[in-house]
Amino acid sequence: MIPKRVNGYLLDPSSDPSSIGSLIRSQGLVSEDEFDNLLSQFQNLTVGQLLGEFMVSKEKLTKEQLDLLLIKQRQMRNGGRTSHRDVMDAIGIAQRTGQRRDTELVALASCIERTNGK
């Protein structure tokens, strides 16, 4: 069976653990039933919208949550390495949301320190 694609993207989250769908599910940001329902709605879209953007438009994710998921996705797709850009993006998110000791930020900073040999 050929996996369904929308706008060139695979929709089966199990086919790519770093996909936004997989990350949303693994983080428990929506229930399984709710995710399946939203995915069905997304598959019926005729406009070019990405799944994460769709979830934000449906108010199932905040923009900040999506941004953190995208950082996590880049990290996974870069072999676990975190870039300076990712840290700066995460810091910007924390500043916008008023979170000073966000655990995601601490983890990202730790990864950068290890990568840089500090």
Q: What's the pLDDT score for residue 54?
A: 93
What's the pLDDT band for 1 if we cut at 50, 70, 90? very low
CA distance linking residue 53 with residue 115, whole number of Å: 31
Per-residue pLDDT tens over the stretch 17-59: 888 888 888 888 899 899 989 988 988 886 778 899 999 999 9
Q: What's the pLDDT score for residue 116?
A: 53
Q: Is the pLDDT of residue 102 over 60?
A: no
* β-bridge partners, 9: 6
Give the burial string for 38-50 (b: 16+ CB within 10 Å, else e). bbeebeeeeeeee
